[in-house]
Amino acid sequence: MQSMEYVIEILRVLVPCLVIGGVAYFIVKSFLDHENNKASLQAQNAKSELVIPARMQAYERVILYLERITPDNLLRRTLNVSTSARKLQSDLVATIRSEYEHNLSQQVYMSAAAWTLVKTATEETIRLVNVSGSKLQATAMATDLAQNILTITSQIGKFPTHVAIDTIKKEFGQNFMEQSSASKN
């Protein structure tokens, strides 16, 4: 009997200890889970504070690039009336390629679909310059090439750079303007 009393005494002490230990375990586990979630959220917020401005700047830079290679803007900056059409053609293509290479890293921050439109706009602008140049005599002047480029551009309707700009603006609005209004609520 004495051993039974001894077991009962041990159980009287052990059961409350196990209950208190179990409760303490779950409280500590809950606290640590909460702290991990909090730290993860803080890291995510810190990352967002760095990435979002870089992404926004990428969209701005790409739109500026597309505006700069739009034929009328490109000609305004590059046209030298005293040069030959071949020289202007070469200068236009070199300018487009140089600006494209300068903005190539922006694709990291954009959707693949948006960057595809940027590439297409670049290729189509180069193609326009080359097709316009191929229709001229070897002795043609820069103004003749410029006139050909503007004539073809006016016949196209919506030039690929404008299509890309419209799509990128829409994507920008979806990515950043909706987030901005959601974070205010």
pLDDT of residue 12: 84
pTM score of the predicted model: 0.73
* Residue 124 pLDDT exceeds 60: yes
Least confident segment among 6-10, 46-50, 127-131, 180-184: 180-184
137-145 CB contacts, 8 Å cutoff, 24+ apart: 138/86, 139/84, 140/84, 140/85, 140/86, 141/81, 141/83, 141/84, 141/85, 142/79, 142/80, 142/81, 142/82, 142/83, 142/84, 142/85, 142/87, 142/88, 143/79, 143/81, 144/85, 145/85, 145/88, 145/89
Give per-residue pLDDT as tens, 33-73. 888 888 888 777 766 677 788 889 999 999 999 999 999 99
